[in-house]
């Protein structure tokens, strides 16, 4: 339990350091507004990717991916639609850590936004 929390905190600190480094290289200075802008991009990317993985795992794209696989399969052999693996079975990446890090980076961004406006 403690090792998972420690791992999450290490990854979260690396993302925060990456945001500060990118902010410095992007504008050649470290400011709160640059941190907020870069942090928004990180947060949006992590949350959108976790939502994409969630919809893939829910089976939303299974019929589409199987249809494309059946249509573009090469060779003279006849394949059944049921023999083609589902996309939700092939993609095994867990979306929960991405969602957690996206929400935590978003929380830090909102705190920085409140500090900036008040």
Residues 29-72 pLDDT 10s: 899 999 999 999 999 999 999 999 999 999 999 999 988 888 88
**Which tokens in the block code for residue 79?**
């394949």
Question: How many domains, the chain?
Answer: 1
Cβ 12 vs Cβ 101: under 8 Å: yes
Average pLDDT over residues 16-36: 93
- Domain of residue 44 covers 2-117
pLDDT score of 84 more than 90: no
pLDDT at 7 (0 to 100): 94
SS3 93: coil
Residue 109 clears pLDDT 90, i.e. is over it:
yes
User: What pTM does this model have?
Assistant: 0.87
Q: Do the beta carbons of residue 16 and residue 106 sit within 8 Å?
A: no
């Amino acid at each position: 339990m403690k090792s998972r929390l420690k791992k999450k905190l290490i990854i979260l600190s690396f993302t925060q350091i990456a945001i500060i480094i990118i902010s410095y290289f992007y504008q050649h200075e470290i400011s709160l507004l640059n941190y907020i802008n870069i942090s928004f991009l990180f947060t949006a990317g992590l949350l959108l990717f976790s939502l994409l993985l969630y919809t893939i795992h829910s089976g939303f794209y299974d019929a589409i991916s199987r249809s494309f696989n059946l249509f573009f399969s090469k060779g003279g052999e006849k394949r059944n639609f049921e023999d083609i693996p589902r996309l939700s079975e092939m993609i095994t990446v867990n979306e929960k850590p991405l969602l957690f890090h996206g929400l935590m980076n978003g929380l830090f961004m909102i705190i920085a936004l409140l500090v900036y406006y008040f």
